A and B are shown apart, each in its own frame.
Chain A
Amino acid sequence: MLAEAGGTFWLPPQSSSTARYVDAAFHLVLGISTFFFLLIVALMVVFVLRYRRRPGVGPAKSPSHSTALEITWSVIPLGLVVVIFSLGFYGYMEIRTAPRTAYEILVTAQKWKWTFRYPNGYEDPELHVPVDEPVRLVMQSQDVIHSLFIPAFRLKMDVVPGRYTTTWFRAIAPGEYDLTCTEYCGTGHSDMVTKVVVHAPGEFEPWLRKADEQAQSLAPVDAGRRLVTQRCASCHSVDGTQVPNGGPSFKGIFGQTHTFTKGPPQVVDENYLRESILDPSKRIREGYEDRMSTFRGQLTDKQITNIIEYIKSLK
Chain B
Amino acid sequence: MSQTAAGALTPESADGSGPPADNYLTHAHGVRSWLFTLDHKRIAVMYLVGILGSFVLGGVFALLVRTELIRPGPTIMSKDMYNHMFTLHGAVMIFLFIIPGIPAVLGNFALPLLVGAKDVAFPRLNLASLWLWMIGAVFFVVTLHVGGLDTGWTFYTPYSTETPSAVIPAALGAFVLGFSSIFTGINFIATIHKLRAPGMTWFKMPLFCWALYATAIIQVLATPVLGITILLLAAERVLEVGIFNPKWGGDPVLFQHFFWFYSHPAVYIMILPGMGVISEVVAVFSRKHIFGYRFIAYSSVAIAVWGFLVWGHHMFTSGMTPLAAMIFSALTFSVSIPSAIKVFNWLATMYKGSISLATPMCYALAFLFLFGIGGLTGLFLGTLSTDVHLHDTYFVVAHFHYVMFGGAMIAFLAGLHYWWPKITGRRYAERWGQLGALLTFLGVNLTFFPQFILGSRGMPRRYYDYAGLLDRHPDFQQLHVLSSIGAYLTAVAITVVLGTLIHSVFRGRPAPANPWGGATLEWQCASPPPYDNFASTPTAGDPYAVDEFEYDPAIDGYVRRSAPNPPGPCPVPSHD
A156 at the interface (CB under 8 A from B): yes
Query: A32, A44, A154, A289 — which one has the most chain B CB atoms within 10 A of its CB?
Result: A44
Q: Residues 564-576 of chain B: 1 if any A CB is under 8 Å from the residue's CB, otherwise 0?
A: 0000011110001
Tell whether, in the assembled complex, residue A55 and residue B572 are in contact, meaning their CB atoms are under 8 Å apart.
Answer: yes
Q: Which of B542-576 contact A (CB under 8 A)?
A: 544, 547, 569-572, 576
Tell whether, in the assembled complex, residue B251 and residue A162 are in contact, meaning their CB atoms are under 8 Å apart.
Answer: yes
Interface stretch, picked from A18-26, A98-106, A123-131, A197-205, is: A18-26
User: Cβ of B391: which chain A residues have Cβ within 8 Å of it?
Assistant: 156, 182
User: Cβ of A152: which chain B residues have Cβ within 8 Å of it?
Assistant: 458
Q: How far is the CA of A291 from the CA of B385 in the complex (A)?
A: 37
Chain B contact residue count (CB 8 A cutoff): 101
Q: How far is the CA of A188 from the CA of B322 in the complex (A)?
A: 31
Q: Which of A54-88 contact B (CB under 8 A)?
A: 54-66, 69-70, 73-74, 77-78, 81-82, 84-85, 87-88
Q: Residues 41-53 of chain A: 1 if any B CB is under 8 Å from the residue's CB, otherwise 0?
A: 1011001100111
Q: Which of A170-191 contact B (CB under 8 A)?
A: 177-178, 180-191
Q: Which residue of chain A is the closest to B80 with respect to CB atoms? A: A187
Tell whether, in the assembled complex, residue B569 and residue A77 are in contact, meaning their CB atoms are under 8 Å apart.
Answer: no
| Residues A51 and B341 in contact in the complex (CB < 8 Å), given A10-B453, A37-B372 | no
User: Cβ of A1: which chain B residues have Cβ within 8 Å of it?
Assistant: 453, 475, 478-479
Q: How far is the CA of A289 from the CA of B164 in the complex (A)?
A: 9
Tell whether, in the assembled complex, residue A165 and residue B319 are in contact, meaning their CB atoms are under 8 Å apart.
Answer: yes
Tell whether, in the assembled complex, residue B463 and residue A190 are in contact, meaning their CB atoms are under 8 Å apart.
Answer: yes
Q: Which residue of chain A is the closest to B387 with respect to CB atoms? A: A88
Q: Which of A52, A55, A93 sits near B357, CB closer than 8 Å?
A: A52
Q: How far is the CA of A88 from the CA of B388 in the complex (A)?
A: 10
Interface stretch, picked from B281-289, B425-433, B438-446, is: B281-289
A220 at the interface (CB under 8 A from B): no
Q: Which of B78, B295, B343, B460 sits near A70, CB closer than 8 Å?
A: B295
Tell whether, in the assembled complex, residue A44 and residue B365 are in contact, meaning their CB atoms are under 8 Å apart.
Answer: yes
Q: Which residue of chain A is the closest to B576 with respect to CB atoms? A: A53
Q: How far is the CA of A43 from the CA of B344 in the complex (A)?
A: 10
Tier of interface size on chain A:
35 or more
Tell whether, in the assembled complex, residue A156 and residue B317 are in contact, meaning their CB atoms are under 8 Å apart.
Answer: yes
A221 at the interface (CB under 8 A from B): no
Tell whether, in the assembled complex, residue A10 and residue B457 are in contact, meaning their CB atoms are under 8 Å apart.
Answer: yes
CB distance from B60 to the nearest CB of A (A): 21
Q: How far is the CA of A262 from the CA of B559 in the complex (A)?
A: 80
Q: Which of A25, A63, A160, A184 sits near B383, CB closer than 8 Å?
A: A25
User: Cβ of A55: which chain B residues have Cβ within 8 Å of it?
Assistant: 569, 571-572
User: Cβ of A158: which chain B residues have Cβ within 8 Å of it?
Assistant: 317-319
User: Cβ of B472: which chain A residues have Cβ within 8 Å of it?
Assistant: 4, 177-178
Q: Which of A2, A177, A184 sits near B159, CB closer than 8 Å?
A: A184
User: Cβ of A61: which chain B residues have Cβ within 8 Å of it?
Assistant: 352
Q: Which residue of chain A is the closest to B570 with respect to CB atoms? A: A58
Tell whether, in the assembled complex, residue B458 and residue A160 are in contact, meaning their CB atoms are under 8 Å apart.
Answer: no
User: Cβ of A181: which chain B residues have Cβ within 8 Å of it?
Assistant: 460
Tell whether, in the assembled complex, residue B286 and residue A51 are in contact, meaning their CB atoms are under 8 Å apart.
Answer: yes
| Residues A11 and B369 in contact in the complex (CB < 8 Å), given A73-B340, A87-B385, A182-B393 | no
B325 at the interface (CB under 8 A from A): yes
B368 at the interface (CB under 8 A from A): yes
| Residues A187 and B292 in contact in the complex (CB < 8 Å), given A12-B457, A29-B380, A58-B570 | no
Tell whether, in the assembled complex, residue B355 and residue A47 are in contact, meaning their CB atoms are under 8 Å apart.
Answer: yes
Q: How far is the CA of A90 from the CA of B384 in the complex (A)?
A: 9
Interface stretch, picked from A143-151, A210-218, A272-280, A299-307, is: A143-151
Q: How far is the CA of A180 from the CA of B470 in the complex (A)?
A: 13
User: Cβ of B330: which chain A residues have Cβ within 8 Å of it?
Assistant: 85
User: Cβ of B393: which chain A residues have Cβ within 8 Å of it?
Assistant: 149, 182
Tell whether, in the assembled complex, residue A95 and residue B347 are in contact, meaning their CB atoms are under 8 Å apart.
Answer: no
Tell whether, in the assembled complex, residue A3 and residue B457 are in contact, meaning their CB atoms are under 8 Å apart.
Answer: yes
Q: Which residue of chain A is the closest to B466 with respect to CB atoms? A: A190
Q: Which residue of chain B is the closest to A38 with respect to CB atoms? A: B372
Q: How far is the CA of A246 from the CA of B547 in the complex (A)?
A: 69
User: Cβ of B159: which chain A residues have Cβ within 8 Å of it?
Assistant: 144-145, 184-186
A36 at the interface (CB under 8 A from B): yes
Q: How far is the CA of A56 from the CA of B568 in the complex (A)?
A: 8
B195 at the interface (CB under 8 A from A): no
A252 at the interface (CB under 8 A from B): no
Secondary structure at the A interface, as helix, strand, loop or mixed, is mixed
| Residues A187 and B252 in contact in the complex (CB < 8 Å), given A60-B352, A85-B333 | no
Tell whether, in the assembled complex, residue A161 and residue B379 are in contact, meaning their CB atoms are under 8 Å apart.
Answer: no
Q: Which of B158, B317, B334, B469 sits near A144, CB closer than 8 Å?
A: B158
Q: How far is the CA of A26 from the CA of B453 in the complex (A)?
A: 13
Q: Which of B373-426 contact A (CB under 8 A)?
A: 373, 376-377, 379-380, 382-389, 391-393
Tell whether, in the assembled complex, residue B380 and residue A183 are in contact, meaning their CB atoms are under 8 Å apart.
Answer: no
Q: Which of A51, A93, A156 sits near B351, CB closer than 8 Å?
A: A51
Q: How far is the CA of A88 from the CA of B473 in the complex (A)?
A: 27
A255 at the interface (CB under 8 A from B): no
Q: How far is the CA of A149 from the CA of B461 in the complex (A)?
A: 12
Q: Which of A12, A47, A66 sits near B350, CB closer than 8 Å?
A: A47
User: Cβ of A57: which chain B residues have Cβ within 8 Å of it?
Assistant: 354, 569
User: Cβ of B460: which chain A residues have Cβ within 8 Å of it?
Assistant: 149, 180-182, 190
B224 at the interface (CB under 8 A from A): no
| Residues A155 and B469 in contact in the complex (CB < 8 Å), given A74-B337, A160-B319 | no
| Residues A65 and B466 in contact in the complex (CB < 8 Å), given A81-B379, A144-B162 | no
User: Cβ of B251: which chain A residues have Cβ within 8 Å of it?
Assistant: 162
Q: How far is the CA of A289 from the CA of B348 in the complex (A)?
A: 62
Tell whether, in the assembled complex, residue A244 and residue B385 are in contact, meaning their CB atoms are under 8 Å apart.
Answer: no
Tell whether, in the assembled complex, residue B355 and residue A92 are in contact, meaning their CB atoms are under 8 Å apart.
Answer: no
Q: Which of B289, B341, B384, B458 sits near A91, CB closer than 8 Å?
A: B384
| Residues A183 and B458 in contact in the complex (CB < 8 Å), given A10-B453, A88-B385 | no
A253 at the interface (CB under 8 A from B): no
Q: How far is the CA of A94 from the CA of B369 in the complex (A)?
A: 35
B464 at the interface (CB under 8 A from A): yes
| Residues A44 and B352 in contact in the complex (CB < 8 Å), given A84-B333, A182-B392 | no
A238 at the interface (CB under 8 A from B): no
B465 at the interface (CB under 8 A from A): yes
| Residues A32 and B379 in contact in the complex (CB < 8 Å), given A186-B163, A245-B80 | yes
CB distance from A242 to the nearest CB of B (A): 13
Could you pull out 29 A-B pairs where Cβ atoms are within 8 angstroms? A1-B479, A10-B457, A22-B388, A29-B386, A40-B347, A40-B369, A43-B350, A44-B369, A51-B353, A56-B570, A61-B352, A62-B351, A62-B352, A70-B292, A74-B295, A78-B334, A81-B334, A85-B333, A151-B389, A154-B385, A156-B388, A156-B391, A157-B317, A165-B319, A184-B83, A186-B150, A187-B83, A189-B83, A190-B468
Interface residues of B (CB under 8 A from A): 78-80, 83, 150, 152, 156, 158-159, 162-164, 246-247, 250-253, 286-295, 316-319, 322, 325-326, 329-330, 333-334, 336-337, 340-341, 343-345, 347-348, 350-357, 365, 368-369, 372-373, 376-377, 379-380, 382-389, 391-393, 453, 456-458, 460-466, 468-469, 472-473, 475, 478-479, 544, 547, 569-572, 576
List 10 additional A-B contacts (Cβ < 8 Å) besides A47-B350, A52-B355, A189-B464: A4-B457, A29-B383, A33-B379, A40-B347, A44-B369, A74-B341, A88-B384, A156-B388, A185-B159, A189-B83
The 4 tightest CB contacts between A and B, nearest first, are A162-B246, A151-B458, A91-B385, A56-B569
